[in-house]
Amino acid sequence: MTPASGGTWDADPDLGEVVVDEQTLERRVRELGEELADAYRDRPPLLVGVLKGAFIFMSDLARAIRLPLEFDVMAVASYGSGTTSSGVVRIVKDLDADLTGRHVLVVEDIVDSGLTLSYLRRNLLARRPASLEVCALLVKEGRQQAAVDLRYVGFRIPPEFVVGYGLDVAERYRNLPDIRVYRGPEPVG
């Protein structure tokens, strides 16, 4: 049963334990915002959100960065509707902004194998930004297959499939206020 039909998230049999609770998320996002505001004080960045998973994190993070920011979004695909990466990365929606000479901060929801982020960094660096950093909400421990340079990380978590706070399985559970292990069946399609 989902909250929309009168139940609670805790009654959903597909949801496992809470990995990061709502209050801890709020506190860490505030801390990251303060750290980023300090780091970019004299050069407000262009925030590049990676859709769809990072949209909630990017929204909260942007409000925590007390600087005049600009935003753009792009969508990349490597999971489809399943719980494991296909290993093939493609840009589904590209940026509107020109990155030349800009300070760019990529806002990512989760780094798993690192393959998507590695591809994305190469692609964005080819657009000649003045600087390019990544702020990832979550990094799965022990899963990286590609070297990833992460200056800003919210949380390091066990290598389990998680949902909530923007992360989904087959477009479901993005609106969970916390991050939980997904224990349900592999989506079809």
Amino acid occupying residue 66: R
Q: What is the rounded CA–CA span in Å between residue 76 and residue 124?
A: 13
**Phi and psi (nearest 5°) for 109?**
-75, -50
The DSSP result for 29-89, as a single string, is HHHHHHHHHHHTTTSPPEEEEEETTTHHHHHHHHHHS-S--EEEEEEEESSTTSSS--S--
Q: Are strands 90-93 and 162-163 parallel, antiparallel or unpaired?
A: unpaired
* Active site members: 112
Q: What is the rounded CA–CA span in Å between residue 83 and residue 163?
A: 10
